[in-house]
Each structure stands twice: as C-alpha cells, then as structure tokens.
Structure 1
C-alpha cells in the first residue's frame, strides 16, 4: 500500500453515497472513469493516507487516516470551502497503529478499527503487523462526541468493515490471516465467522493482502469481498442473523489489478475504484 498525497471527492458519486475510497498502491492506470462530472471537494496539502470513508445521512463524509497520524475526520462537501474537522485522534498510537475500516452500527453511531501497523513515510512502504486490534465507537448524535473503546482482540491486518443489517453484528476482514471476524457491537465479543483459502493471499504473492474491501447487501444475505493478492472480486452467501457462510464463494471477476475497497450499487453490482478519485 502507498498513501495518496491528494485525496479528491466527486460530488456526483457522494450524492449516491458510495462509501469507500481507493487506498492501495497503484501506478497511473489507463483506466478512466466513465463518469466525467467530477470535482475536487478537498485536497490535503501534505501527504495524507485516507484509508476509508463513510457517508452520514446528512451528507457529511467521515474519513479514517492510515498513516502515522491516526485520526478520524469529518468533512461537509456542501460547504463553499470544505475543511476536514477532527473528530478523534490517537497520538499514543502514532507510528504504531492506524485507523482503517469504519461502519455505521446505528443511526449516526459509527464503529472503526484501530490496528497495528507502521508506515515508512520516507520509503512509502507499509509494515503490516499482527497484534492487538482496537474497535472504537463514536456517537455523532451527541453535541461533543468522543471515541469510546468497545473491545480489543488479537488479529492480523484488519481492513474492511461492514455492519450486518438488522443485527448487533459487524463483519471485519483480516487481510493477512484470510478470515472474516464477527464482532458483537453490544457485548464486544469477537469470533471467526468465515475462513476460506480464497480469503487468503497466495503463498507466493508479491503482496500479502488477501481479503480487502468487504460489503454486505441490504438483506444481509450476501457478503461481497475483494482479494487484492488474487485479483478477484467475489461473493459469499451468509446467514443474515449471524454472518456465517451458508454456501460456497463465487468469483465474480478476475483482473490483473489490485482490487481494494469498493461500493455496491443499488443494482447490487460491486464497483471497485481503480483511481484515487471518488
């Protein structure tokens, strides 16, 4: 993975509430988005790795920062000159942990992942490490919201994060260990929900990122995921009450590209983002 100095948001797509930003390393691609009505909402003036985002019901965007400055921001794209507002920061984790996946668990209440990693800014390289994973929540219904620690558990590089609709559970992807964890937002209990070789990176992979982005359909019956090292987009049927698998993984697409985070459109078609544009 490599951070992006420039983070751009396209207002046309944000209006459709596409929830994720691309974050893996990539060279300039010949791929060009079909939608040309894009505009820059905000550009970080210094190098910043924005790993993930979620769109609030009011249209504001929550951003998790993944470099050596673990922070959670909010930005209002409707402002004339949008500026990120700092919601939470973790100076105690600088150069040790970073923010990755974020998901809405109740109306305007969000959970996000703080996991062990180290970003070598000079060489633009990421050192992935397993260890203690922290799950924090933040209630934006409050006038002065503060991040609260929900639970901790041991894992690898925890990446994608999605809520199982109508339950108190969330599913989180472990890119290095090739598993999907089930997290109970009510009790904090964490268990392995799904484990499969297609979630893991191949043994001879040049990058050790297996399952990356993770999304669940509105009915809670299908989990979509990207595997970066294998270059696949896939789906797996799941139990809508527990998130456990109920069938075999189906590979939807294989490409010579590093699939990363993605969104699922209203037509239930997953769309990966190959550029740094949203």
Structure 2
C-alpha cells in the first residue's frame, strides 16, 4: 500500500473519464525477451483497490480490498464470478496483509481509518481469522456455506499494519509489518498476544520519501526474514530464529524502487510489485530487472502484490493484484479498474 488515500478517491472519478488506456504488450518467445506478457484474469470497476492476495490449496485466490473492508474469492479460471467471502465492519477502512497458517486457515489485517500521513484517526487496527474450511459454493457460484470469521486481536500500539507472513503454523505465530513505525510485530493467533519482535533501521522510510511507509511486504526463506521498503529503495533481509527474533545484522539484498509487496518463486527469485511506478521487477543474485509494466503503461497500473499458483497446472503462474493506478495515476491522470492479472513466468 502506497501514497495517501484521502485525495485519491475524491479525484478518481474525474481522472477516469477523459483518457485512453495505454498498453504495450510484447510477446515472450524465450527467457531473453522482455517484457513478460501480462494477462487479465478479472478486472473490477474503477476505484477498486485490490491490495493483497493468497492462493488457497484448491487454486482459488483470496483477495483483500483496501477501498472497502471486504475479502473476495476469485477463480483464476473464471468458471464463476468473484464472490465476497467476508464483509467487515465499516469501522475499518479496508483490508491489507493476508497469510495462511494451517490448511485453509487465513489471517487478515483490517485497517483503522487513517489520515494522509498514515496515522490512525479513530478506531484500532485488528487481525481476523478467516476459516475457509466451512466455505462452499454451488455450481453457479452462489455461496452455500459461509466462511467462519473471528477477531484474533486489536493491536492498539501499531501505526499502520501492512504485509504479513506465517512464522510457525503449528504454534500460530505470524509476523506483521508496521509500515508507519518501521517495525515488525509477532502475533500469537491462538492467544492474541503480540509484541514488537524486530526494530531495524532498514525498515524505516527516508525523511524525504513521498510516502510515510517503510517496511511493507514480509516473507521468510531459509531462516531469513526478507522485506520490501516502500519509503526507502532497498530490499533487505535479516537472520531470525524460530521465534522470529533477529540472530544477526540486517543486510541490503538489492536496490528496488517504490516496492510494495513481493513474493518468492521456488527458485529463490523475488518478484517485486512496484505500486507507485506501475512495474514488476525480479531480484536475482542482487540484481534487479524490470520484467513487466512501466510508469507510462496501464498494463500493471498500481500493482500491489503477487502470489504463485499452487496447482500442478499453474505453479509458474504469478497472480497479481492491482489498484488501477489509484496510488499514482498513469501519466498523472489515467486510472483504470483494479485487476487480478497473471503472468506465465516459466519463460524467464
């Protein structure tokens, strides 16, 4: 999540009317040809901000929305239309990070109202459990059995909770980025207890950044916690133990501009969503390469997060959420509907 929202939605409808969509797809024939082809899985109405996503074991996508506090399920095959899994109270501004612990048990961040500086103006930030084991649709896509939704904790000390990842699915530990304060919380989803577990300088935003958001996306790989930083163009990691505590110093893995969330492919390459510059880049061996989108294209307008498929048929397919350019309109004026997009990464 980037930039501020107060002025975005007030001006969005004005921006939508007059401008043509810019796109520049290029076919990929082998790993040496870029940009990668971006396909649209589903495009929502204008002013839709898709913020984050997780892939269920059955291949369906769970998508958090920031323009409204709802969680949606999207079928990447489009066999049925997207459905609302959970509609949270209007006391929340929207939803952000999502992570799975045990099979089909997900946790989501619900944001309290906040101002242009990402400071809470009322209420409290909460984390909810969404049990999808009870969720079912009929053949026409109508809900026949609802997901079970319960509040886990109100995290009153947090500034702006954002990205989230699972530390230990059995013990019920998840890590959550507080982007405004530049720290990471550990939450015990079984007890609701939480604490700041990592506070590192590389998690802070720079004083001259256009956003007051630092640490954003979180992922754990090979006993390291990795994170993107929206207000400092660095992609970092730090060694951690089983409790999420740092066991050494942090280090910069690569330079990445305007990073929102990110995801690792099985081979260890990191795929970085660059919301503010409408781009997707790959980090490999410390080198950052632009692979799709650009600041002048609506192909990945406001790309916010990514997740790889979990079926044998789509394990190399990267699914992406976008906000249509609501954070930073393309060419300063163009806003399109938020999307669920996909990229076949097997060619790269």
1:39 Cα offset (Å)? 2.0
Judge which range, 110-119 or 50-59, deviates more: 110-119
CA distance in 2 between partners of 1:227 and 1:99 (Å): 19
Match of 2:259 in 1: 259
**Structure 2 CA distance for aligned equivalents of residues 235 and 31 of structure 1:** 33
Q: What value does the CA root-mean-square deviation take over the aligned residues?
A: 2.6
| Alignment match, 1:10 | none
If asked which structure has higher relative contact order (CA below 8 Å, sep 6+), I would say 2
Could you tell me the TM-score, scaled by structure 2's length?
Answer: 0.64
1:43-192 pair list within 5 angstroms: 43-67=43-67, 69-80=68-79, 82-93=80-91, 96-118=92-114, 128-130=118-120, 132-142=124-134, 143-154=145-156, 155-166=158-169, 167-192=171-196
TM-score under structure 1 length normalisation: 0.79
Give the Å deviation of 1:270. 1.8
Larger radius of gyration: 2
CA distance in structure 1 between the partners assigned to 2:204 and 2:99 by the alignment: 23
Task: Give per-residue Cα distances to partners, 1:91-133, cap 9 Å, x unaligned.
Answer: 422xx522100000110010000122348xxxxxx55123622
What's the CA shift for 1:37? 4.2
User: Which deviates the most, 29-38 or 110-119?
Assistant: 29-38
Q: For 2:41 and 2:208, locate their aligned partners in 1 and report how far apart those are by CA, in whole Å.
A: 40
Q: Secondary structure of the equivalent of 1:242?
A: coil
Shift in CA distance, 31/168, structure 1 to aligned 2, threshold 3 Å: farther
**Count of aligned pairs between the two proteins:** 242
Counterpart in the other structure of 1:226: 228
In the alignment, structure 2 segments of 5+ residues that lack a partner are: 10-21, 27-32, 135-144, 280-299, 304-319, 321-348
CA displacement at 1:35 relative to structure 2? 6.0
Shift of 1:197: 1.3
